Structure formats: structure tokens, C-alpha cells
Amino acid sequence: MSSMSSYSIGVSGLRNAQSGLSTTGHNMANSGIQGYTRQGNIQQTYAYRKYSESKVGLLQIGMGTDLSEIRQIRNKFFDAEYRDEASVSNFYAAKYVTGQEIENILGELESKYAAQDVLSNVWEALNELTIYPDGIETRGSFIDTCVTLADKMNDILVGPGGLYNYQLNINDQIKKYVGRINEIVEEIDGLNDKIVYREMNKDQANDYRDSRNLLLDELSTYLDIIVKENSNGRSDIIVGGKELLVNGSVNKLGLKYSTAGYGFVEPVFTRSEEILASDAEVISLFGDLSTENFAGGSGNCAGLLKGLLISRGNVLADHNTPDNQVSNFLIPRVEKQFDTLFVGIANLLNEAFSSGDTFDLTGEKGVPIFTKIHEELDFTTSNIQVNPILRDSNGYNFLALSPSGDVADTTAILEVMKKWENGVEGLKDDFNQSMPVNSYYRSVIDELSIELDEANTYYEEHNDLLVSVDNKRQTLSGVSLDEELSYMLKYQYAYQASSKFINIIDSMVDKVVNGMGVVGR
């Protein structure tokens, strides 16, 4: 073995030990950085020098070690599983939060002013009228409960803290998240360029890869993404079969109005900075959500953005809204149910007490209890008021309760109470049978509670899986200071061993050159 070859072996050991110490120090310095992936040196034999050939075979001498690469200690399967669970858990989180907010708006979680209490007050006022049908106080109390009912239903649907206002709040969130998605995709595209450039020049780009993976993790909370890494290191992003980022081409998301007149938007592929009209010919990111299957566990249930869209819906619904516009959408379905409930009660009272067959205290034909605010619009919650005539100080006189003209005649009142308890026209069950007021209300609340519990159950299941997968990722990719300290000691010993090796070779060369004298003397 030549002395110079021996020197190269020792130097390669020094070089690789020093690189190992550098990588270990880099891991320890970045241990607290979110998204950082532990790095490890991959070493291999450098080359072999042919020494001789014999009958037993080729004899070679190793020339030392070489640093093959500084590799991220990361598992792509864990990444894909993590992103799938993040997408699904955030979908159900959006539905669960929306359901909780609906319950707050309905007052179900409050001790006062719950919708159920308002309905009970109307029933009690009717019961009092059967006892004192001509009483000023009982008549006034009934009118007041009708006013409270109208106000409560209006508050629930279109009031400042009502369902429509919450739809607008979700709409703003959708706009914000679409903007953030565009930012993330642009950043990933920029990181793709940096990774490709550095790795083409045989430099390591692991820190850029960490930044990209962190952005992909965030993107997976908003959308159900498929990530494909090309051989050159560039990552492509697919959403629902549509290309969001492919080969350096970014398909930017924009917005268009879902339905004219409401201001609700949906994400579409467009480079327009303006919100497009509802009839604009563009490709939707998700397609028609009203036809998708969102049954529990469906593969369509993924991504915070889609969760917000099906929670918000595309319309402010009322009892006339077609089922296909509400069946898949959480808030519009509740809006239609509550408008149906209120309109059913309003029609019941109007038909009983102001159909032209009942008389007030003055002996005249009665006036409607509920009237339209704007005659040209439909009879819906947002366009219903208690008749201003009845709300005057002496309005109780014009409350027509008697079908015979006798103020003590409670026949009409009892008939209303009978229908209230046995079935009101317009309040239908799944078999198209008329339902009592309280049963219909309870069915709406129960349906909401079941959907809310289901969303919470699926959220917890997938969030537990998310935490489990993340723990696996951290076990593999996270930095353990104790483990890095052991690597540091290993590389220090390797460095010292290589140094001693070189010192021994150096002393041997010195002995040969300076200690063996001059030939011939």
C-alpha cells in the first residue's frame, strides 16, 4: 500500500466525520423549528484500487469512504396518511363548529329566549284565552306572544346574529382561505424551483424541502390533495382530479357568485381578481356539491373549504326553496325548516281567527293576525309581521276569536289548540303526514343534534388518527437531542480515530525518510 493512498483514506475519514458533526449540529440547532426534519449522513465506500490478480481472484485496496448524500429521515407514506387525516378531520370540524353556532342562534343552549320557550308561551296564551276569551289582559298577552314569536323567528333567520348573518361570516372565511391557498401554491412553486436548481448542482436542498412539506401539510387542511414528486424533485398538486400545480404551472383559484342575489361565492379556476358572475363559464374547484354524497364516512368528506361550503350553502332558504338546494347544506336546511314552522303557525292562526268567519269585540269581522311587510314579496319569515292594527294600544278589540259573535265562544281557539297538538297543515314528516308544532320543532332539533354528534364523532376519530400518525412522523423525523448527542460522540470518535490513523502513517513515513540513513554509507 503506498503512503499517499493511506493518507487519502485517513483524510476521507476526517472529511466524513467532520460532515457528520456538521449535520448533527444542524439538527440540534433546528430542533425547535416547526416542520424541521432530522437529517442523516449516508456514507459509502469511495473507490477501490487494483492491487494484483491471482488464481484466487482480484485483490483490491479500498480508498476510504465517501459522503453519498445528506438525506432527510422522512417517510412519504406517513406524510400522505397525515394529510389525508388532516383533510377529513378539518371537514368535520367545520360542520361541527357550524352546528354548534346554529344551536347558539336557536337558543337551545341558553336558559332564556329559546325558540322552544317562545312556542310554549304562544300555547299558554291560547290556553288562557280559552278561560278568559274577552279579557283585555289575556288578549293583549296573546298578541304580545305573537309579536315575540315573529321577532324570535326573524332573529333566528335574518337578524344581526342569525343564520343568514352567519352564512355571510362563513362566506368571508371562504374568501380568506381561497386567498391563502393561492399564496401556498405560489410559495410551493417557488420552493420547487429552488429545490430543482440546488439538487441539479449537487447541493442539498433539505431545508427547502422542509418548508415545502410544511406548506403541503397546511394545504391539506383546506383541500383533499394528492402530491406527486417528480424525479427532478418538483412536487405536483392534484385536487379532485384537477391540476392545481403541475410542472411549474400554477392554476390559480378565483371566485364566482354561487347564486345571484345572495353574495355567496365558490372557488373556481380563474386568474380574474374580480368575483365573477354566477353564470360565468369557468371550471369549479368542486363541481356541484348539491349532488354529492356526504353520508358519514364518504370519501367526499374532506377539506375545510368544502366543509365550509356545505355548511353555508348557496341560498337564504325559506319554505319555498327546492329540496335540492338545501338537502346537502346545513344552514339552508335549518332555515327552510324554521321558515316552514313559522309560516305554518302564522297560517294556522290566520285561518282560524281572520278567515272572515270570526268576530272581534266590536262585533266586526276580524283582521289577519300576521300580515306581509311588503305585499309584492312572498309570505316568509323575513316578510311577516303582526298586524299593526293589533299592535295599537287598543288592538285587543280587533282580535277576532269568536265564530258566533259571542265573546265567550271558544270554539275557534279550541280548534287551533287541537291542530297545534295533532297536526298543522304545512308541517310534514317524512311520510308527508301533518305534524304537531312541538313534534315538528323537536324533530328539527333532533336532526340537527344527530348530525352534530355524527360530525363530532368523525372529527374525533380522524383527529385521533391524525395525532397518531403525527407521533409516528415525529418519532421518525423529529430531532431527539439525546440521540443527536450520541451521534456527535460517534463522529467525534471517528474524527479522532482518523486523526490517529494519519499520525501513524505520518510517523511511518518520517521513519522511512529520516530514520533509516543513506544507502551506501
Which string of DSSP letters, residue by residue, matches 338-400?
A: HHHHHHHHHHHHHHHHSSSS-B-TTSSBPPPSEEESSTTS-SSGGGEEE-HHHHSTTGGGG--
3-state helix, strand, coil in the chain (%, to 5): 55, 15, 30
Amino acid letter, residue 237: I
pLDDT above 70 covers a percentage of the chain that reads: 92
Block residue for cell numbers 439538527: 27
| Bridging pattern class, strands 65-72 and 225-229 | unpaired
- Cβ 149 vs Cβ 122: under 8 Å: yes
Strand partners, 242: 239
Block residue for cell numbers 383559484: 253
Top-confidence residue, 37 or 94: 94
Predicted confidence at residue 436, as pLDDT, reads 96
Calpha distance 49→47 (Å, rounded): 7
369-390: per-residue pLDDT in tens? 999 999 999 999 999 999 999 9
Predicted confidence at residue 499, as pLDDT, reads 83
Start-end of H helices in 371-514:
388-391, 411-422, 437-477, 481-514
pLDDT band at residue 144, thresholds of 50, 70 and 90?
A: very high
85-116: per-residue pLDDT in tens? 999 999 999 999 999 999 989 886 554 567 88
pLDDT reading at 514 higher than 50: yes
Mean predicted confidence (pLDDT) in 102-131: 85
Predicted confidence at residue 165, as pLDDT, reads 95
pLDDT reading at 484 higher than 90: no
Mean predicted confidence (pLDDT) in 164-171: 96
pLDDT reading at 364 higher than 90: no
pLDDT above 90 covers a percentage of the chain that reads: 62
Give pTM, 2 decimals.
Answer: 0.87
pLDDT reading at 60 higher than 70: no
Helix (H/G/I), strand (E/B), else coil: 329:
coil
Calpha distance 482→416 (Å, rounded): 78
Mean predicted confidence (pLDDT) in 155-175: 95
Amino acid letter, residue 372: K
Predicted confidence at residue 259, as pLDDT, reads 87
Cell of 262: 345572495
Non-local CB neighbours of 34 within 8 Å, separated by 6+ positions = 214
185-233: per-residue pLDDT in tens? 999 999 999 999 998 988 889 999 999 999 999 999 999 999 999 989 9
Strand partners, 269: 253, 283
- Cβ 98 vs Cβ 88: under 8 Å: no
Beta-carbon count within 10 A of 395 CB: 18
Own/partner long-range contacts of 350-355 (Cβ < 8 Å, ≥24 apart) = 352/412, 352/413, 352/415, 352/416, 353/399, 353/400, 353/401, 353/412, 353/416, 354/400
* Per-domain residue ranges of the chain: 3-73+479-514, 74-106+173-316+462-477, 111-161+319-422
Calpha distance 56→405 (Å, rounded): 127
Block residue for cell numbers 308561551: 121
C-alpha gyration radius of the chain? 38
Non-local CB neighbours of 280 within 8 Å, separated by 6+ positions = 256, 268, 270
Cell of 405: 259573535
DSSP state of 402: B
Calpha distance 49→429 (Å, rounded): 88
For the chain, give the number of residues. Answer: 521
pLDDT band at residue 1, thresholds of 50, 70 and 90?
A: very low
Question: Out of 21-25, 197-201, 299-303, which region has the weakest mean confidence (pLDDT)?
Answer: 21-25
Calpha distance 78→467 (Å, rounded): 12
- Cβ 387 vs Cβ 370: under 8 Å: yes
Top-confidence residue, 440 or 111: 440
264-280: per-residue pLDDT in tens? 999 999 999 999 999 99
Question: Out of 164-173, 197-206, 249-258, 314-323, which region has the weakest mean confidence (pLDDT)?
Answer: 197-206
Mean predicted confidence (pLDDT) in 126-148: 95
Integer distance in angstroms from the first to the last C-alpha of the chain? 28
Q: How are strands ordered across the β-sheet holding 242-246?
A: 225-229, 235-239, 242-246, 249-250
Strand partners, 60: 50
Provide the Cα torsion 260, 263, 268, 269; round to 10°.
Answer: 100
Mean predicted confidence (pLDDT) in 52-57: 60
Predicted confidence at residue 115, as pLDDT, reads 85
Chain Cα centroid distance, residue 58: 64
Calpha distance 16→45 (Å, rounded): 11
DSSP state of 443: H
Q: Which of 9-13, 107-111, 445-449 has the highest mean pLDDT?
A: 445-449
Top-confidence residue, 518 or 38: 38
pLDDT reading at 519 higher than 60: no
